[in-house]
Amino acid sequence: MAFEETAPELAQNVRSLGFDVEKLVAGGKLFIDHVQIEPSEIEETGDYDLEGLFLRLGSAIDTVGAKRVAIDTLETLFASFANERILRAELRRLFRWLKDRGVTAVITAERGDRTLTRHGLEEYVSDCVILLDHRISEQVATRRLRIVKYRGSSHGTNEYPFLIDDRGIEVLPITSARLDYEASRDRISTGVPSLDEMLGGEGIYRGSTVLVSGTAGTGKTSLAAQMVDAACRRGERCVYFAFEESSRQIIRNMRSIGIDLGAPMRKGLLRFDALRPTLMGLEAHLTNIYRAVRDFGPTLVVVDPISNLASSGGSALAEGMLARLIDFFKTRQITLLLTCLTRAGETIEGTEVAVSSVIDTWVLLRDIESSGERNRAIYVLKSRGMKHSNQIREFLLTDDGIRLRELYVGPEGFLTGSARLAQQAREETEEKTRREAISGRKRAMIRRKEDLEAELAAKRRAFEAETEELRRSIEEAERRADVLASDRDDMALERGSAVRRPGRVRPRARRLKVARRGVES
């Protein structure tokens, strides 16, 4: 029962919410009764009642066998009747009557100044009161909804953002009061083997929340792309929410480091959702994320960067939003990768959103400035549930992907980039010189030894020649001495001064024998 819009107007107005009213009417599901109240047409007497309205409603309910009745809005009735006291009594009767008919009734009314409704209706509609609100904060409008009372139910008491768009009304899921989601033991690769190595050797936990933060241009998007690429190669589905660049630009830029995100997109494994963060309010973004995730069923979701998204709603909203976002993915065991821009000069932990407590794995990228160069470095600030590396590594973006390298620690501290190359070259030269000096000394030693041996051999040869000479001269001298002795014996015999004794060997012959033996030896 509409008091303000005619059936065609209503059909037109809710079409943008995706409701096809005409089809429902044609299908006998819905009956719209537009009640026009013209004060002049109403015969207002002292005891006027809503009997006419009851009759119309009754016949409308019977027409389609309605289970639900919507009366939009009571304000029109109040505006048209002067005697409010009677009207209130009649409304009380109407609600009683609706209850008796066994229909669920939704009645709209405006909010009062201090009371929930302008005319204090909450006492009649007291089964359930839902309060809608539209507020603007920091130039972003947010619709909120609160259940003020709901008999017989332990309803949520918070204010929940809700959204009206082409798919109707959506209330954002709220964080579950209990932290009881599953915790997978399954580990997945980040797509960079050396980073997996830093993360306890196996990468991150499936379903965990990973934050990659760093200053501008440090390679956050590149790391996210590498992870998406790895997931798609495993045949998993991914959704990439880009709040800074268009999908085409990301695909083009990532080609520069050898990652082709176009291929998984064509295979239907990757879906890009690129939106300007200021285009809509935070709750609209959240709804968009939830819907995309529900429709596509990814195992990995990237939000690049979360800092932009958070700033579209003001910092107070951002925290609650992040908690909701993380909760949503955690309960579905979807791995969530957030990137966050740290402004230059900010402390590393001072990232825009207070995230540290809700993040499982936090990877930091930073610039190291030295010798007139900026080079990138990476480290793992925290990673729950694993023994992660405490080292800072050099983070290299190359034509074929991301590489990590051990930081080079020279005598003057960390060295990166060309300073590292120069230092390495210097050390290599020094090492070479040292090696050459050692082998030079080794060669000198060998030469000295050879010289000595040659000298010794020559001396030995000279010694042998000398001894041979000496032996010969000794022999000669002995021979001569024997000859002389024998000559003396012969002469003595001839002179008869000596008698030759029998059996006596002539000394000369004996001596000669001895000498000969000496030669032989």
Ligand X SMILES: Nc1ncnc2c1ncn2[C@@H]1O[C@H](COP(=O)(O)OP(=O)(O)OP(=O)(O)O)[C@@H](O)[C@H]1O
Among residues 119, 143, 206, 220, which is the contact residue for ligand X, using CB under 6 A? 220
Among 90, 236, 244, 394, which one carries the catalytic annotation? 244
Q: 236 or 244, CB closer to Mg ion?
A: 244
Cis peptide before 73 (omega within 30 of 0): yes
398 binds ligand X (CB under 6 A): yes
Taking CB under 6 A as the rule, does residue 222 contact ligand X?
yes
Phi, psi dihedral angles at 372 (to 5 degrees): 70, 25
Does 348 participate in binding ligand X (rule CB under 6 A)? Answer: no
The enclosing H or E element of 171 equals strand 168-171
257 binding partner (options Mg ion, ligand X, none; Cβ < 5 to 8 Å by kind) = ligand X
Output 245 or 489, the one with its CB closest to ligand X.
Answer: 245
Q: Tell me the closest approach of the beta carbon of residue 188 to Mg ion, in angstroms.
A: 22
Q: Which tokens is 202 given?
A: 């196996």
Check if the beta carbon of residue 396 is closer than 8 Å to that of residue 402: yes
Rounded CA-CA distance 379/199 in Å is 10
Of 286, 233, 285, nearest in space to 261 by CA: 233
Instruction: Output the six-digit token pair for 181.
Output: 């989601």
Cα separation values, 185 from 12, 188, 379, Å? 52, 10, 23
Choosing from 4, 122, 159, 475, the catalytic residue is: 4
**To the nearest whole angstrom, how small is the minimum distance from the Cβ of residue 256 to ligand X?**
4
Residues 317 and 281 sit within 8 Å (Cβ to Cβ): no
The DSSP 8-state label assigned to residue 329 in this structure reads H
Alpha-carbon radius of gyration of the chain? 52
Q: Does 230 bind ligand X (CB under 6 A)?
A: no
Separation CA 332–CA 337 (nearest Å): 14
Count helices and strands (H / E) in the chain. Answer: 14, 19
Nearest distance from C-beta of residue 253 to ligand X, angstroms: 6
**Rule CB under 6 A: is residue 216 a binding residue for ligand X?**
yes
Which of 189, 209, 218, 416: binder of ligand X (CB under 6 A)? 218
Q: Which is nearer to ligand X, 205 or 243 (CB)?
A: 243
- Among the listed residues 41, 166, 399, 520, the single contact to ligand X using CB under 6 A: 399
From 95-103, 151-159, 197-205, 216-224, span contacting ligand X (CB under 6 A): 216-224
From the list Mg ion, ligand X, none, pick the one residue 397 interacts with, judged by a Cβ distance below 5 to 8 Å according to partner type: ligand X
- 4 in active site: yes
Report the C-alpha gap between 206 and 213 in whole angstroms: 20
216 binds, among ligand X, Mg ion, none (CB under 5 to 8 A by kind): ligand X
Task: Identify whether the C-beta of residue 391 lies closer than 8 Å to the C-beta of residue 216.
Answer: no
Question: Residue from 173, 217, 314, 385 that binds ligand X (CB under 6 A)?
Answer: 217
What's the CA gap between 214 and 376, in Å, rounded? 10
Distance of closest approach, residue 368 Cβ to ligand X, in angstroms: 15
Nearer to ligand X, 137 or 256 (CB): 256
Residues within the interface to Mg ion (CB under 5 A): 220-221
CB 348 within 8 Å of CB 213? yes
**Cβ 140 to ligand X shortest distance, Å:** 23
466 is catalytic: no
Listing DSSP states for 488-499 in one string gives HHHHHHHHT-S-
**Span interacting with ligand X, options 94-102, 266-274, 392-400, 494-502, rule CB under 6 A:** 392-400
**Measured from the CB of residue 301, what is the shortest distance to ligand X in angstroms?**
17
Rounded distance between C-alpha atoms, residue 300 and residue 304, angstroms: 13
For residue 243, the minimal CB distance to ligand X (Å) is 10
Q: Which is nearer to Mg ion, 220 or 237 (CB)?
A: 220
Query: Of 259, 195, 205, 203, which Cα lies nearest the Cα of 232?
Result: 259
341 binds ligand X (CB under 6 A): yes
Among the listed ranges 1-9, 45-53, 96-104, 395-403, the one in contact with ligand X (CB under 6 A) is: 395-403
Whole-number Cα distances in Å, 78 to 74, 133, 157: 7, 22, 30
* Residues at the interface with ligand X (CB under 6 A): 214, 216-222, 244, 253, 256-257, 341, 397-399
List active site positions: 4, 244
